[in-house]
Homo-oligomer: A and B are copies of this chain.
């Protein structure tokens, strides 16, 4: 590429990275707010999380537009092209993470303020904290092309899976003992599942970062979680 094209390309890439960082920050904030809304039974905050998700979707659309523009105008070479396509894939994953946070928030009104019902899920906030940190670190690993940090994210996914297994068993036991709470507990089960999926998606991002940085794939760990409660 001519020098001015390289400069323009670098500026585009900077803007792309900025958008992804903003999107990641918003997704993390959405997870945190959704969990706060759940714990405090704060319906206003829950509605806010649902509304804010539109901004995450809008950033994804913006990234997509920018990627097409970068490819069309700058005709990046193989490696740069792969980076740009990787950015597109990563925003797709972050958008899904935002959706999971939104889904958690949407369930808040369906779980009535009943201290006893919420008692069995004291693990959920800590579980969400780990998942949210994984999202944070996965995007930091992407920004810094840090393969070691990416590996650390992938390894932490078992923590989230272990949390999920505990929550699943605790909730099932609680439902058996308190059949009146079954409907609410079912929503809590889905919330636990959503958090578990956030961990999976952070892991996916970390795996993409690792591959981009090293050219190697990490050994297959066969996550995907649906049977994680085994």
A residues lining the B interface (CB < 8 Å)? 64, 67-68, 71-72, 75, 77-78, 81-82, 85, 88-89, 92, 99, 102-104, 106-107, 110, 168, 171-172, 175-176, 179-180, 182-183, 186, 189-190, 193-194, 224-227, 229-230
Report yes or no: A182 in contact with B175, Cβ–Cβ below 8 A. Answer: yes
Task: Report the Cα distance A82→B225, complex, angstroms.
Answer: 33
Chain B nearest CB from A210 CB (Å) reads: 15
State the copy count for this chain: 2
Chain B nearest CB from A219 CB (Å) reads: 14
With contact pairs A85-B88, A172-B182 given, residues A72 and B77 touching in the complex (Cβ less than 8 Å): yes
Chain A to chain B contacts (Cβ below 8 Å), 26 pairs: A68-B85, A72-B77, A72-B78, A85-B88, A88-B88, A89-B92, A102-B224, A103-B224, A103-B225, A103-B227, A104-B226, A106-B224, A106-B226, A107-B227, A110-B227, A110-B230, A168-B186, A172-B183, A172-B186, A175-B175, A175-B182, A176-B179, A179-B179, A186-B186, A189-B189, A190-B193
